[in-house]
Amino acid sequence: AMMLRVSRRFANNVSMNFNYTWSKVMDLVDNDSDTIINPFDMRQNWGPAGYDQTNVITVDFVYSLPKVPGSWDTPVLRTILNGWEVSGMIRSQSGQPFSVTSNGSLMGVDAGSQYPDVVGDPYEGRNKHRWINPAAFRRPLDGQYGNFQRNALRLPGVRNVDANLMK
């Protein structure tokens, strides 16, 4: 992992922070209730953790508005107009990994789940209404394990903007 932070206070009542984090969390299972689907090939379960966020960028700022100038400087206007701040934060992070599973088991019954076989490009035809291509996967043949891996795909990234005006 790597973390970078740049912080700066400017002379004109502005302060800013820039934060960047790069990380990679890998594991076999995310918690105690997860299972290893193929005990004969545990590498198939080795992948990004479900909570992995590879890139996170955060920029925040605070701007103290100027005080009431010269002829406007009366006790009433000073009370109303002085002491205001505008602040905000912008955060962008990569999407979290997820797995695609297929119903079925090695016994030939529709019980349990396993990883599917990949037969095409999972991201082909992607748009805002369909993130992955369902035709890129098929159920493995009975008695066989699928060739896909755990958490091999990523959800869309998240971007958030917050703003604040306060006294």
Sign of CA dihedral 118, 120, 122, 128: negative
Give the mean model confidence (pLDDT) for residues 85-97. 96
Highest mean pLDDT among 40-44, 112-116, 146-150: 146-150
Higher pLDDT pick, 115 / 105: 115
Q: Tell me the C-alpha distance between 96 and 83, whole Å.
A: 41
CA-based nearest residue to 84, from 7, 15, 167, 4? 167
Task: Give 22-58 pLDDT, tens digit per residue.
Answer: 999 999 988 877 778 777 888 888 999 999 999 999 9
Task: Give 131-144 pLDDT, tens digit per residue.
Answer: 899 999 998 887 78
Give the mean model confidence (pLDDT) for residues 90-105. 89
